[in-house]
Amino acid sequence: MPVKTGLVGCGAMGAFLAFALRREFRNEAVLTGICDHHEENRKRLLSRLKSRCPALSLEAVLRSSDLILEAASQDAACELLTHPLAKRKVFLIMSVGGILKALKKQPRLLEDFQGRILVPSGALAGVDGLLAAREAGLVSVILKTRKPPAALKSAPYFAKRKFPALKDTGEVCLFRGPAAEAVSAFPQNINVAAVLSLSGLGAKKTFVEIWTSKAFKGNQHEVLIQHKSGKIRIVADNEPSRDNPKTSALAIYAALACLRKWFGSLKMGT
């Protein structure tokens, strides 16, 4: 019997996931409800799907679904995971920073959780290596992210700070600090820092640098891992998403791969 599936967030990523369910997993899952604070997003998606799937509240989605796909915001992810109805559900979380928020709100969340939380690797490569390095004994994890100015200017970090003047080709470091601060300051740009935090040393010990330049056209994530048995360096260069330039196009395909792994019999990777 297909898994009853709810969708929270009907923007570009949510729409991609909804169509992926219909195209790739029609025998494994059925969309039973959608939720989005923006009515126009809900109507647009239902029109494109040619579906009568009901628009529900967040709580109603939790009640009517066994698998919940989150593609909305960190706040929505946090609200979902800390809801009393969440403990036996399966979640695919795109706004991974929301997991950090939920853990801050409920420190024993993961210990008490009886369902599953699926976390795609997003625009990163090398999460498997990081997980293995954690078993070997991690020493340090550093993320250096490079993105175009337009993707970063509207971040909350600049609500009380002036965005720096940029020269023609020079790189400027906008942020240096722990992932816990980076995820809050750049919630739509740096979910990869939350992925690294949950896979490695945690949000306070994972170090993040965010760089920009007029010359940057794509998004780059460079990860430097030191562990007791060696070192790992990974660089992922990605094109921005056409629908949301604040994130990388690869991030949505990572979600598709995550669903395929969960539904499939063969589980590749660590």
pLDDT single digits (tens) 18-27: 999 999 999 9
User: Vertex 225, ends 221 and 229: CA angle to 5°?
Assistant: 155
pLDDT in tens, 112-171: 999 999 999 999 999 999 999 999 999 999 999 999 999 999 999 999 999 998 987 789
Owner of token pair 């609500």? 159
- 157 located within any domain: yes
Whether 81 and 152 share a structural domain? no
Confidence of residue 246 (pLDDT cuts 50, 70, 90): confident
User: Vertex 48, ends 44 and 51: CA angle to 5°?
Assistant: 100
pLDDT in tens, 92-128: 999 999 999 999 999 999 999 999 999 999 999 999 9
Domain tally for the chain? 2
Whether 58 and 135 share a structural domain? no
**Final residue of a domain: which of 76, 97, 118?**
118
Closest CA to 120 of 245, 10, 20, 204: 20
Give the residue numbers spanning the domain of 168.
127-246
pTM of the predicted structure, to 2 decimals: 0.94
- 100 located within any domain: yes
Active site residue 227: no
- 231 located within any domain: yes
> Catalytic residue among 37, 38, 83, 221, which?
221
Whether 98 and 195 share a structural domain? no
pLDDT in tens, 206-229: 999 999 999 998 999 999 999 999
Whether 114 and 131 share a structural domain? no
